[in-house]
Structure formats: structure tokens, C-alpha cells
With several copies, the nearest count.
Chain A
Amino acid sequence: MKKLINRPEDAVAEALMGVAAAHADRVRVHIGPNYIVRADAPVRGKVAIVSGGGSGHEPMHGGFVGMGMLDAACPGEVFTSPTPDQMLAASQAVDGGAGVLHIVKNYTGDVMNFEMAAELAQDEGMEVEQVVIDDDVAVKDSLYTAGRRGVGATVLAEKICGAAAELRRPLAEVAGLCRKVNANARSMGVALTSCTVPMAGRPTFALGDDEIELGVGIHGEPGRERRKLASAHDIVEALATAVVDDLPFGPGDKVLAFVNGMGGTPLLELYVVYGELHELLEGRGISITRNLIGSYITSLDMAGCSITLLRLDDELTALWDAPVSTTGLRWGV
């Protein structure tokens, strides 16, 4: 394992110290329990938005704390859900009196820890709503399993809900928007290589030199299918078709197309992927009216990408365009 870290067990905490040292002007980092809040929190009268999850997906979530996006992020150990006390303390630190929205990715651990946090927060008289994101079409949705995983749509939901909160929309409305984003977004990813968890010290899964994992999860969870290495054209076709057919997206739809790098894939390749995606969607009468290209929800050093499509209407488009000022996503300010 080759990583720019010291002891594996210290990597998350030391990265947080780095964030604290780098961005004291925009965020405050609290250690024990670990959370990151925007420097001006709590913002009076604004719904506070809190998210979190295992570390290893940077810039998500810590890099999305700031004006127009998250009020707080709770980083767990690498690929391990954070604990309720983190979420509770973070929620308390950012509650501006208008309630708190928890945006939760659909993994058993995340869901349960956030649930406990909400119970604790409600016991203390806080108003908390939770929305679970589950946009990964690689996993079959079913009442009898853990259900679809939460991936790329999380980034879009955090941005859009953050914008609505800045406009002082009430908690129920912001939570409703979050559900709307989730309902209109679908994703799928592909791994060219495995990630390596620092504490594990070796690749999470073994992939042949000529193999890819279609439908991989952001923790290296298995996907739909192991395949022979293919061209960008064929890989995009497989991912995009699965995504488009699931919602389904149809002719006349306007979408935000999000091409996400998994951490070890350079931008050059993401633009090749975007070019292919653009062509495929055009062929299906779907027009991309907004896009996001880069490594925003990563899986440590995994090579690969994911494609997320979000069906846009005027409301979502306007909220996407609204100013945001975080270290990971910034415009309009």
C-alpha cells in the first residue's frame, strides 16, 4: 500500500487537522466528536443541513460545508458510518432555530446511526427531518433488502437543499426538495481498479488487468457484473443505459449530467466520458442543461467513474445555479 499518510489509524484525524489548518476562514473543525461546521454557524432562522458518512469520499462531505450547501459534515472512520454523538453535536452546533435536515446515504450503518442521532436530537427538543438518498441503480431496490445505495445524487441534493435553505425555505420544504432530487436522480459507477483502505493495507477486491467492475459501490462493494475492459464508449453506454432506463429518462427531458471521478482517474478521462455521455443522451432526445465534471464523491484511490443524471425543472435548475461557497464547489460568490 502506497499512501501519503502516517499511521493508517491516524489518517482521518490528521486529514481533519489539515482541513482545520487550511480553511479556518470558512469552517471550524471539532475533534472528539469529529465534525466540521461552517465558520458562521449557526445561521439564525435558516434550516441547517447536516450530512456525513464514512471518510474516503472527499471532497464529500467536509468539502461541501459552507454558504449555500452544508452547515455541518460528520466524517466517520474510512468507509465507516459516523456515530450518533457526532451528528447530535454537529446538529446542536448549527441549529439556527429553523430545524435541521439530515441527508443520509442509504447504507445500513449510516441510516441507523442517523436515526439514533435524530432520536437524541428530538429528545432535546430539536426539530429534525431525515431524507435517505438511494440512487444507485446497480443494486436492485427491494423492501426486503438494504435497498439501493446512496451515491452521486447526494452531492446534488446537498447543493440544491443548501440553496433552498439560504432562501429561508422552511424545513418541510427543504426536506421535500431533497426527496424530489432523490426521486429524479439515478446513478451507476464503474471501477477500473480497487480502492485500498488504509487500515486494511491491501486492495478491497481483486480485479484482473483486463477486468472492470460495472456497478461498483463507493466502498468497493460488488456491482452488477464483472466484465472485460472496454472502450470509454462501451462503458458509458452500459452505465448510461442502466441509468436512463431505470427512472426512466425520456425524450424531452432536461438533465443535469454529473460525471464523477472515483479518486484515481484523471480529468482528461472524465472529459472523454462526458463527450460519450453527451452524444448518447443527445441520441435519446435528452438534453443536458447543466453539468458537473470532476472527482466529488470518491472511493479513496479507486480508478473509475460514475454517472449521475438528475431530471431538472425550473425550480431545481434555479437552486443549482444559486451561489455556493465551499472548498469543493464554488460559484456565484
Chain B
Amino acid sequence: MSGIVTQEGVAAWLRAFAEAVAKNREYLTELDAAIGDADHGSNMDRGMQAVVGRIDGPSAGTAGGGVGALLKLVGMTLVSTVGGAAGPLYGTFFLQVGKAAGEATELTLAQWAAALEAGVKGVQMRGKAVLEDKTMVDTLMPAAQALSAAAASGAGLAEALRQAAAAAEQGMKATIPLIARKGRASYLGERSAGHQDPGATSSWLLLQTAAETLAAGAPAEVPGA
């Protein structure tokens, strides 16, 4: 076995994502100012601060229930603190990943990839966006697909997460020329082209921090193994 996703790894990932959001708060808000309403950075930061407060707070750990319970707590927290479009979307994402992850405290790469795919489906069910609508779906969907493909091809966890992050980055950048068809940016019509989507950008941070943290607890991989 070339690496498993553990509950501690997931917690580390969430902390790293929160930190990345905090660091990129102004940047995300600036991207949103160009084609939205200049709040994506503060929305996500408010939400992820609340998430960290809960998973590291006094009542943390007492809940038990494995990776699934942890991620459902994250989803509920985002739903109730973020608001706007990002709240239900990221909230649904984590709720669905958590549901798919179930009560296990450790997941194989294949299980983890399937859980992510479920999360992306949740986002699409909630927001009805398809690829190239210039949303976070443009980042999340290719990333989840890359993860599944890597798992199917027998790649190790760290390598698979790297491939997912690379796909995420590509998807994020691909939003730049697009004309938005969903969310607030769609009011701009053609004037939305030429700007990178803020939600696609925060989603890239999500995948990037996953690559940096999720495989950390796993045994070192032999390249090419």
C-alpha cells in the first residue's frame, strides 16, 4: 500500500487550507471585486476560521465518528458561517465527501478519490454549473478526475495528489478567458472574460494544500513504485 488518508491528515489539510485562505484573503477578494462583489476572500476566511475553531476547539475530538463525521462538521460549519454562493457550495462539497468517506478513520486512495468525486457531484447538484461555466467546478472536476485516474493507474497517494493539484491549477487558469454563465459574474456577460474566477482560485488552494498535507502521515514513497 502506497499511502492512506488518515483523520489526522485530513485535519492537517483543513488547517493548511484555512491558513492559505487567510494568506490569500485579499487576493481572493480582489478577484471577486473584478467580476463579483468583493467578498469571496472574507467569506471563505470567516468560514475556515470557524472550521479551525471547531476542529481544534475544546469540544473537538470528543465527537468521534471518523473522517466522515469530521468532514460533515466542516460542511455544516461552512454552511452556517459563509453565506453567499460559496457557503452552500463548499458546505455541500464537504458534506458529500464526508458522507462518502463514512465512519472509517483511514481511507485508501481509491476510497478518497471516490469521496472527492461525490463532493464534486454535490457541488454540481447544488449549483447546477457544468464545466466552462467559469466556477469552482472548473477546478474541482478535473482535479477529482485526475485523482481517480491516478488511483486507477496505481499511483501512490502523494503522486496522485500532486496530479490532482496540477489538474486543479490548469482548470483554474482555464477560467480566465471564459464568459461566466453562473453566479454573480454572469451579470457581466462578455465583460467577465479575461478574469480568473475567485471560487476556482480558492478551490485550487484546497487541492494544493491537499497535496502538501494529506500524504504527510503516509510512508515515504519510492518514486516510480
Query: Which residues of chain A are within 8 angstroms of B85 by Cβ–Cβ distance?
Result: 81, 108-109, 112
Partner of B80, one of A33, A81, A139: A33
Q: How far is the CB of B51 from chain A (nearest CB, A)?
A: 14
Q: How far is the CB of B39 from chain A (nearest CB, A)?
A: 6
Q: How far is the CB of A6 from chain B (nearest CB, A)?
A: 18
Partner of B37, one of A79, A82, A115: A79
Q: Is A301 an interface residue (CB 8 A)?
A: no
Give the size of the chain B interface in residues (CB under 8 angstroms): 30
Q: How far is the CB of A166 from chain B (nearest CB, A)?
A: 30
Q: Is B116 an interface residue (CB 8 A)?
A: no
Secondary structure type dominating chain A contacts: loop
Q: What's the Cα separation between A107 and B80 when bound, in Å?
A: 18
Q: Let me know if B184 and A107 touch, CB within 8 A.
A: yes
| Nearest neighbor of A138 in chain B, beta-carbon distance | B187
Q: How far is the CB of B207 from chain A (nearest CB, A)?
A: 22
Query: Which residues of chain A are within 8 angstroms of B180 by Cβ–Cβ distance?
Result: 145
Q: Produce 1/0 per residue, B79-103, CB < 8 A to A.
A: 1111111111101100000000000
Q: How far is the CB of B9 from chain A (nearest CB, A)?
A: 28
Query: Which residues of chain A are within 8 angstroms of B183 by Cβ–Cβ distance?
Result: 108, 146
Q: What's the Cα separation between A149 and B186 when bound, in Å?
A: 11
Q: Is B188 an interface residue (CB 8 A)?
A: yes
Q: Given A109-B83, A109-B88, A115-B126, do A204 and B37 touch, yes or no (CB 8 Å)? A: yes
Q: What's the Cα separation between A144 and B181 when bound, in Å?
A: 6
| Nearest neighbor of B182 in chain A, beta-carbon distance | A146
Partner of B84, one of A80, A139, A144: A80
Q: Let me know if B88 and A113 touch, CB within 8 A.
A: yes
A182-232 CB contacts (< 8 Å) to partner B: 197, 199-200, 204, 217, 219-222
Query: Which residues of chain A are within 8 angstroms of B186 by Cβ–Cβ distance?
Result: 145-146
Q: Is A129 an interface residue (CB 8 A)?
A: no
Q: What's the Cα separation between A79 and B33 when bound, in Å?
A: 13
Q: Given A116-B91, A200-B38, A219-B37, do A149 and B187 touch, yes or no (CB 8 Å)? A: yes
Q: What's the Cα separation between A177 and B79 when bound, in Å?
A: 30
Q: Let me know if B182 and A145 touch, CB within 8 A.
A: yes
Q: What are 8 A-B pairs at a CB distance below 8 A? A: A79-B37, A81-B87, A108-B183, A109-B184, A145-B182, A146-B182, A199-B39, A221-B37
Q: Produce 1/0 per residue, A39-70, CB < 8 A to B.
A: 00000000000000010000000000000000
Q: Is B145 an interface residue (CB 8 A)?
A: no
Q: Is B43 an interface residue (CB 8 A)?
A: yes
Q: Produce 1/0 per residue, B170-209, CB < 8 A to A.
A: 0000000000111110111101000000000000000000
Query: Which residues of chain B are within 8 angstroms of A144 by Cβ–Cβ distance?
Result: 181
Q: Let me know if A108 and B127 touch, CB within 8 A.
A: yes
Query: Which residues of chain B are within 8 angstroms of A113 by Cβ–Cβ distance?
Result: 83-84, 87-88
Q: What's the Cα separation between A329 and B155 when bound, in Å?
A: 65
Q: Is B42 an interface residue (CB 8 A)?
A: yes
Q: Let me know if B184 and A76 touch, CB within 8 A.
A: no
Q: Given A79-B37, A199-B39, do A139 and B83 touch, yes or no (CB 8 Å)? A: no
Query: Which residues of chain A are within 8 angstroms of B83 by Cβ–Cβ distance?
Result: 54, 76-77, 80-83, 109, 113
Q: Let me know if A145 and B181 touch, CB within 8 A.
A: yes
Q: What's the Cα separation between A84 and B81 when bound, in Å?
A: 9
Q: Is A85 an interface residue (CB 8 A)?
A: yes
Q: Let me know if A222 and B84 touch, CB within 8 A.
A: no
Q: What's the Cα separation between A21 and B42 when bound, in Å?
A: 29
B34-93 CB contacts (< 8 Å) to partner A: 37-39, 42-43, 79-89, 91-92
Q: What's the Cα separation between A176 and B128 when bound, in Å?
A: 25
Q: Let me know if B79 and A116 touch, CB within 8 A.
A: yes
In the A-B complex, the 7 residue pairs with the closest CB atoms: A112-B88, A109-B84, A145-B186, A109-B85, A85-B80, A108-B85, A80-B83
Q: Let me know if B188 and A222 touch, CB within 8 A.
A: yes
Q: What's the Cα separation between A222 and B37 when bound, in Å?
A: 10
A97-154 CB contacts (< 8 Å) to partner B: 107-109, 112-113, 115-116, 139-140, 144-146, 149
Q: Let me know if B187 and A109 touch, CB within 8 A.
A: no
| Nearest neighbor of A84 in chain B, beta-carbon distance | B79
Partner of A112, one of B39, B80, B127, B191: B127
